[in-house]
Amino acid sequence: MGMREQKIIRYYETCETDYRFFWDLDRSLAMHAGYWDETTRTLHQALMRENAILAKIVKIKDSDRVLDAGCGVGGSSIYLASRYGCQVTGISLSEKQIKTAKKHALERVFCPMPEFQVMDFTKMTFPDASYDVVWGMESICHAEDKGAFLREAFRVLKPGGRLIVADGFAMRRRYSKVEEEQMRTWLEGWGGNDLLTAEDFEQKIYKAGFKNATFRDITSHVMPSSRKLFMFSFPGFIFSKIGEFFGKRNELQTRGIRAAYYQYRTIRKGLWRYGIFYAEKK
């Protein structure tokens, strides 16, 4: 396993406490932004709503075999299995996350039980044409080679299979020095790598072999979550620095809090946007 993968694992395993404290992790099992609309009034509702929105777009049905690529602690996998009765396999680089996901599944799902495995979604060991849906919820931003993920997703999908990806996308290919520093502070603080523009990601989708790609900009629906994180960042930063002083927290956790500040500053400046890609394998 390379340094990049180790950094991703270390981020999620180290900062899981903050997701639990700030982001309803124990109840929602979610590490994504959520989707706010007229039906949502709480963070938990918004987090569940994003699962529902993606499931509707990708047309989940009970006969589907779904691959949750970058499953975290299993939230989306458990939602899909519970809500639709489909078979779901979740994969993550983190052995700790996979153990946690299995525990949550045993507590919350009766049948069919999701499966969870430690695996890199750019180098999967699944057979060709073994899934109906590949689902990527805010995980593909971590990939150094996003084309490798898309090629693997295409390979493991059956003919007629569908791809759904919700993530951040750059608004342009070049930034000023200050903008680049702010984007890097945000992305690296949350274990991310880089963001492609939606146009460049779409090109890679087609290059991998997919057809009928569509993109939906839902930035306005994630802004309430972005603002919440921004507001959390002020007391959170002070709390984290004090924790560092007393040896209860570390620099990586504090960088994660700083990232919460800069994700909002950069999205407000129009440096990136949040969107959903859908595509099909013919």
Are 189 and 262 contacting, i.e. CB atoms less than 8 angstroms apart? Answer: yes
How high is the pLDDT of residue 116? 98
Structure tokens at 60: 């989940």
How high is the pLDDT of residue 3? 83
How many angstroms separate the Cα of 246 from the Cα of each of 19, 21, 256, 257? Answer: 21, 19, 18, 17
How high is the pLDDT of residue 111? 83
Are 90 and 114 contacting, i.e. CB atoms less than 8 angstroms apart? Answer: yes
How high is the pLDDT of residue 110? 76
How high is the pLDDT of residue 141? 95
CA atoms of 135 and 79, how far apart (whole Å): 12
Rounded to 10°, the helix 95-108/75-84 angle is 30
How many angstroms separate the Cα of 122 from the Cα of each of 86, 104, 118, 130, 246? Answer: 24, 25, 12, 16, 39
Q: Could you tell me the domains of the chain?
A: 3-280 (3.40.50.150)
Burial string for 17-32 (b: 16+ CB within 10 Å, else e) reads ebbeebbbbeebbbbb
How high is the pLDDT of residue 109? 78
CA atoms of 168 and 272, how far apart (whole Å): 7
Mean pLDDT by 10 residues, the chain (282 residues): 86 91 94 97 98 98 98 97 97 97 91 95 98 98 96 98 98 97 96 94 98 98 98 94 93 95 98 98 96
How high is the pLDDT of residue 105? 95
